[in-house]
Amino acid sequence: MIKEFMLMGLLTAILLAIGFVVGWVFGNPEGVMLIALFIAAAMNILAYFHSDKIVLKMTGAKLVSEDEAPELYAIVERVAMRAGLPKPKVAIIDTPVPNAFATGRNPRNAVVAVTTGLLRHLSRSEVEAVIGHEMAHIKHRDILISAMAATIAGAIAYLAMIGRFSIWFADEDRGEASLLALLAGILAPIAAVLVQAAISREREFKADERGAKITGKPLALASALEKIEAVVSRGYTIRANPATSSLWIVNPIRGDALYELFSTHPPTWKRVERLRRLARQLMGS
């Protein structure tokens, strides 16, 4: 929690810094910062309250009834009961690539989605462990934390855009300020993305741990992660908007050598290592 507060504080510091620089160009630092923050907050509040519908559409997930997926519903209901949560809605994505995610602004509006590939390639115990991970995200209210980070990062993006164009509108006596604003407009969004990714990685570690404790199956979750990673690392991807990459239990979008630095997920081998260590601790107790 301390690390997450520090990361959120760093995001806020980036916002204040670029707001001051851009505001300096126009002679009104406070006004520019407040306008950008208001616009970003309005957009993210709208997305927050409709996140479940937006994400389902972006991923191609379809809500299913209990009659359509009785076994999956039974698993979700059992894990929700163990987690002390209301039973969420259930959705399925028709793709051979195994993966899963959870969305919704709070436990009463949550949705757990899995792919047909997950149901086909993972054992019942592994599916239950994956559902436990997603229930942990719901219990931790990770969507709220992501929305808070996105609000600040959104404001940074708006200020960065103003900073990049401010050089064309600055007075002659503010030339140095406009050049500094241009530089900040390029670097600040990159820094914001790095901090957002770090926050997301911390949430994944916590969801692994809490999910494993909910189901009592850390080794099953480790095995599930390895199976999903094996498919994703072979280049099989899900046809979904890259903006949803942070939601999936294993990031289906892969990049170059900078992947780990910018990734919203920790390396799978680190997650597996932690889960195996947790399994030994649980057996010892």
**Mind telling me the catalytic residues?**
134
The Cα–Cα gap between 155 and 18 comes to 10
> Residue 173 gets which letter from DSSP?
G
Measured over the CA atoms of residue 220, residue 221, residue 224 and residue 225, the dihedral's sign is negative
Of 216, 132, 130, 177, the residue nearest 32 (C-alpha): 177
Report CA-CA distances (Å) from 62 to 17, 57, 58, 116. 43, 8, 11, 11
Structure tokens that stand for 71 in this block? 């076994």
Residues 221 and 130 sit within 8 Å (Cβ to Cβ): yes
Question: At 68, is the secondary structure helix, strand, or coil?
Answer: coil
CA 173 to chain centre: 43
Reported residue count of the chain is 285
The Cα–Cα gap between 55 and 9 comes to 27
The Cα–Cα gap between 134 and 203 comes to 11
130 forms bridges with which residues in the sheet?
Answer: none
